[in-house]
Amino acid sequence: MSDAILTARGICKDYRDGDRVAHVLRGIDLTVERGEFVAVMGPSGCGKTTLLNVLGLMARPTSADVLLVDGADCLSLSDRGRTTVRRERIGFVFQRFNLLRTISARGNIDLALQLRGAALDGQAARVLREVGLEECVHRKPGHLSMGEQQRVAIARAVACRPAIVLADEPTGNLDSANTQLVIDLFRRFHDAYGLTVIMITHDAGCASAADRILHMKDGMLEPVE
């Protein structure tokens, strides 16, 4: 019996713009095992971000048969219930880092912890040390390099010990050295803590760090050999 942490069946998502309807996701089936590291590749505009938003409960699918996240049946949940699942089981890492600019690196992580109701017992400092940024604890995002910002964002995503981390082109804005650092971090958290990661990437090198690579095309997923 497999231990699926995420199960999606028949996920469809349309965008309606006046009379025009764009069928962006056309029946996605995806199962991710606990502790798996999955990479998703695909051409620009094929719906990768849309898929991640649906899986991360940031957007509702137009239709779907099954969407289970860490055991929670997300199709039957209210907005509030989806918010709760997102808060407690999902961590995001974005291409554009998406740190809050007015508070420090540590403040960003503390805020995420506080939102979850976790005690601030030095966890922020610990994860910042794990991503090699103990020097940057008090710096605001504007005073960090892009690579450092992304590492803070990764620290924020993992600090709450989510069931699954969804990363949308986390290396898209980074040079090759920083790309390597970020991929190494994902790999390390995956190996050390059994973190489940779904990572979108355009970079085959990055994708090769994953256990499994999926290719997205025309709103459908297909495995890559």
Contact residues for ligand ATP, defined by CB under 6 A: 15, 17, 22, 24, 42, 44-50
Torsion angle, CA of 52/167/67/74, rounded to 10 degrees? Answer: -100
DSSP class per residue in 192-212 = HH--EEEEE-S-HHHHTTSSE
Tokens of 120: 């601030």
Q: What are φ and ψ of residue 8, in 5° steps?
A: -130, 135
Instruction: Based on the shown chain and the rule CB under 5 A, indicate whether residue 49 belongs to the binding site for Mg ion.
Output: yes
Q: 222 with 31: CB under 8 angstroms?
A: no
Instruction: Based on the shown chain and the rule CB under 8 A, indicate whether residue 58 belongs to the binding site for another protein.
Output: yes
Return the one option of Mg ion, another protein, ligand ATP, none that residue 138 interacts with (CB less than 5 to 8 A, by type).
none
Instruction: Based on the shown chain and the rule CB under 8 A, indicate whether residue 84 belongs to the binding site for another protein.
Output: yes
Instruction: Based on the shown chain and the rule CB under 8 A, indicate whether residue 158 belongs to the binding site for another protein.
Output: no
Q: Which class for 70: exposed (0-12), middle (13-18), buried (19 or more C-beta within 10 A)?
A: middle
Q: Cβ closer to ligand ATP: 3 or 17?
A: 17
Shortest distance, position 24 Cβ to ligand ATP, whole Å: 4
The correct pick among 45, 71, 73, 114 for binding another protein (CB under 8 A) is 114
Return the one option of another protein, Mg ion, ligand ATP, none that residue 15 interacts with (CB less than 5 to 8 A, by type).
ligand ATP
Q: Cβ closer to Mg ion: 49 or 171?
A: 49
Q: 206 with 179: CB under 8 angstroms?
A: yes
Return the one option of Mg ion, another protein, ligand ATP, none that residue 46 interacts with (CB less than 5 to 8 A, by type).
ligand ATP
Shortest distance, position 168 Cβ to ligand ATP, whole Å: 7
CA distance 84 to 115: 10
Q: 85 with 60: CB under 8 angstroms?
A: no
Instruction: Based on the shown chain and the rule CB under 5 A, indicate whether residue 201 belongs to the binding site for Mg ion.
Output: no
The correct pick among 101, 126, 138, 188 for binding another protein (CB under 8 A) is 101
**Residue 113: which H helix or E strand, with range?**
helix 105-115
Q: Cβ closer to ligand ATP: 129 or 202?
A: 202
Which residue, among 115, 97, 224, 218, has the nearest Cα to 167 in the 3D structure?
A: 97
**Chain residues in the site for another protein (CB under 8 A):** 49, 53, 56, 58-59, 78-81, 83-84, 86-88, 90, 92, 94, 98-103, 107, 110-112, 114-117, 156
Binding site for Mg ion (CB under 5 A): 49
